[in-house]
Amino acid sequence: MRRAVFPGSFDPITNGHVDIINRALPLFDEIVIAIGINTEKKYMFDLEHRKRFIEETFAHEPKVVVDTYSGLTIDYFYEKQANFLLRGLRNPADFEFEKAIAHANRFVAGIETVFLLTSASTSFISSSIVRDFIKNNGDYSKLVPSVVKI
């Protein structure tokens, strides 16, 4: 079985995330969307909301599993007996950041990372942009799945 882990905070899930997941579905038998728990980080949406947003967005897709984890992504990767990490790239800055992590994961743990470029129509979307729209009462509805509501 080709299992990929797609880790992130998903605060909240965006249409960019959805694009990456939908385009990765033909590549893998299962995609575990792994919501990382970082007690040092302040989230806009609590863990249960973030998990529910993703579960509802992919309720029709049996190849998608939603889970949460804390600690090292490497440890979670092995716990799930995954074959690949899945990451989306929006721009050169994302690439440089993700490349360093991918090299470290391969060097330390032999983990392979699969990168997918975001579609042009979603490449500008980030969770932080969505949160900024929400904080300032902007219309964020075109940036996220319809299930993401305050």
**Per-residue model confidence as pLDDT tens for the chain (150 residues):** 999 999 999 999 999 999 999 999 999 999 999 999 988 889 999 999 999 999 999 999 999 999 999 999 999 999 999 999 999 999 999 899 999 999 999 999 999 999 999 999 999 999 999 999 999 999 999 999 999 988
Listed residue (84, 96, 94, 99) closest to 7, CA to CA: 84
Q: How far apart are CA 61 and CA 145, in angstroms?
A: 15
Binding site membership for substrate: which residues?
9, 41, 73, 87
| Secondary structure class of 5 (helix, strand, coil) | strand
Out of 23, 52, 90, 99, which one is annotated catalytic? 90
State if pTM tops 0.75: yes
Domains held by the chain: number: 1
Phi-psi region of 70 (alpha: psi -120 to 50; beta: other; left: phi over 0): beta
Is 17 considered catalytic here? yes
Is 127 considered catalytic here? yes
Out of 41, 42, 60, 142, which one is annotated catalytic? 41
Domain that holds residue 43: 3-148
Strand arrangement of the beta sheet that strand 30-37 belongs to: 64-70, 30-37, 3-8, 84-89, 112-117
Is 23 considered catalytic here? no
Q: How far apart are CA 110 and CA 117, in angstroms?
A: 23
Is 90 considered catalytic here? yes
Binding site membership for ATP: which residues?
9-10, 17, 88-90, 98, 122-128
Domain harbouring 129, CATH code = 3.40.50.620
Q: How far apart are CA 22 and CA 58, in angstroms?
A: 9
